Amino acid sequence: MKNRVKMKMKMVIVSILALLIVPAAKGFSDDSGTGAIDSLESALDYALMHNPGLASSYATWQGQLAVVRQERSLADPEFTIGYFLYDDGMMGGSEDRKLSLMQRFPGWGKLSARSAVAGAKALTAGHRFQSQRLKLCYRVKEAWYEYAYLMKSLELARDDHSLMKYYEQVVRSKYQGVLASHPDIVRSQIELAVLSDVVVSLERLEEPQSQKLRAIMDLPAEIPLERPVLPDETLFMPDQILVSKLVAEFNPDLRTMTAQVDASRSALDLAERVNYPDFALGLEDAGREPVMLMFSINIPVWQERNKAIRRQAVENMRASELQRREIDNESQLQVIELLYRLDEAVRKIKLNRDVLLPQFGQLVKVSEAAYRDGAIDFLSLIDARRQQLQYELNYYRARTDYLLIMAELDMLTGGELPTLGVEVKQ
């Protein structure tokens, strides 16, 4: 039994040291810095160093590590000094005080078992910190990519507004000398008003999106935040089997629950020792009397209480094991759903990029020439341009969705998706 506990302690300590060696965080700093946030990498670096939630999780982890050192130590010895209030003649009148020193020792294996529980809890806190770190990275990426998509939507809306102004001039030149109430002129003015409203709405949305990203990063107002742009298009489809293996091995929530199961198992081992009595050794000096060696032991007679302690430990371990199984099932289901959504995003990107956008670009050019020749009406020209704009937005929306799904997969696999050479296909 003793060897088993020692082995568990060694495993826990090695695991904690391994977690400490992993570059979990670059360190937390109160120095805000002065450099502008001009890339996703700089945003991630700043958030990892300054986000208060992540710093809190790190402090909790370090505090739990300190508990491990506490549980390895014995309780402080107890020193007692007593004075006799009166002399009944039996002490001889020479001494009026008594000194004693006692050291209490936990029952057989309890100290090691308590250390194992504390170590497993520290490991759980460490994995929870890693989980918080990965979730923070995902939140930064999500806000960054959505901000970049907003900027691209605003760019397209402004381009469309400029194009509509050009169309209005075309209409006016075509119907020069005709009343300003001509239906095509009125339609162009209505369309300009609608597009102006879209541009204004998107411009006003920029501030909330920017503040959301700043809040996640804990970025002060005096540090500039450059407008993000969507990265160049690069498409990959990770293999489902490999991703599932990565999730099973590196998923931070699964690792956290595995550590929690170990902590519950160590707590059960401690509960099994509740009937092992604690004892104390000490010395007593009563002056002229010889120094007395003392021994005391507690007697575990309240068995109902002890049975309840063991029952609680059993149920806690069972709950942890069931919760871990639930997280495992949910994670694997999430992999399937994410890969389906990723495949859909890739399909839509290729459809819009390779088929629809080139065709709608050609349709708009043909429609412009046909309108000048009088072959189609102005409403048909506007409709062609509207559809082109919509599919441009669909293309960039699909690209943004692809980036968000890849970021979520990276979080789900514990950040190992790009670093372990997952096989992909274009």
What confidence tens digit (pLDDT) does each residue in 393-419 have? 999 999 999 999 999 999 999 887 764
Q: What CA–CA distance (Å, rounded) separates 423 from 240?
A: 10
Total residue count of the chain as it appears in this document? 426
pLDDT value, residue 402: 94
One-letter-per-residue 3-state SS of 262-285: HHHHHHHHHHCCCCCCCEEEEEEE
Contacts 24+ apart (CB under 8 A), 347-352: 348/394, 348/395, 348/398, 349/233, 349/235, 349/395, 349/398, 349/399, 349/402, 350/235, 352/391, 352/392, 352/394, 352/395, 352/398
pLDDT value, residue 178: 57
pLDDT at 352 over 70: yes
Distance of CA 187 to the CA centre of its chain: 50
**H/E element holding 292?**
strand 292-297
pLDDT at 4 over 80: no
CATH 2.40.40.20 for domain 2-85+93-412: no
pLDDT value, residue 92: 52
Parse the chain into domains and list their residue ranges: 2-85+93-412
Contact of 185 with 171, CB cutoff 8 Å: yes
Residue 346: which pLDDT band, with cuts at 50, 70 and 90?
very high
pLDDT at 23 over 60: no
Pairing of strands 279-285, 292-297: antiparallel
Task: Tell me what the pLDDT averaged over the chain comes to.
Answer: 82
Contact of 134 with 252, CB cutoff 8 Å: yes
- For a pLDDT cut of 90, what percent of the chain falls above it? 38
- The b-or-e profile of 32-41 (16+ CB within 10 A means b, else e) is eeeeebeebe
pLDDT at 194 over 60: yes
- What's the mean pLDDT in 24-41? 66
pLDDT at 180 over 70: no
- For a pLDDT cut of 70, what percent of the chain falls above it? 85
Beta strands in 53-184 (DSSP E): 78-83, 97-105
pLDDT value, residue 425: 47
Q: Supply the DSSP symbol for 356.
A: I
User: Taking the alpha carbons of 217, 219, 223, 229 in that order, is the dihedral positive or negative?
Assistant: positive
pLDDT value, residue 288: 64
For the segment 293-333, what is each residue's pLDDT rounded down to a tens digit? 888 878 777 778 778 888 888 888 899 899 899 999 999 99
The pTM score is: 0.80
pLDDT value, residue 265: 86
pLDDT at 145 over 90: yes
pLDDT value, residue 56: 92
pLDDT value, residue 181: 54
> CA angle 352-356-357, nearest 5°?
80
pLDDT value, residue 290: 77
Residue type at 152 in one-letter notation = K
pLDDT value, residue 354: 92
pLDDT at 36 over 60: yes
Q: What CA–CA distance (Å, rounded) separates 98 from 102?
A: 13
Residue 66: which pLDDT band, with cuts at 50, 70 and 90?
confident
Range from 7-16, 26-35, 172-181, 229-238 carrying the lowest mean pLDDT: 7-16
Tokens 């021994």 belong to which residue?
295
pLDDT at 283 over 60: yes
DSSP of 7-44: HHHHHHHHHHHHHHHS---S---S---S--B-SHHHHH
Q: Which of 106-110, 149-153, 267-271 is the most confident on average? A: 149-153
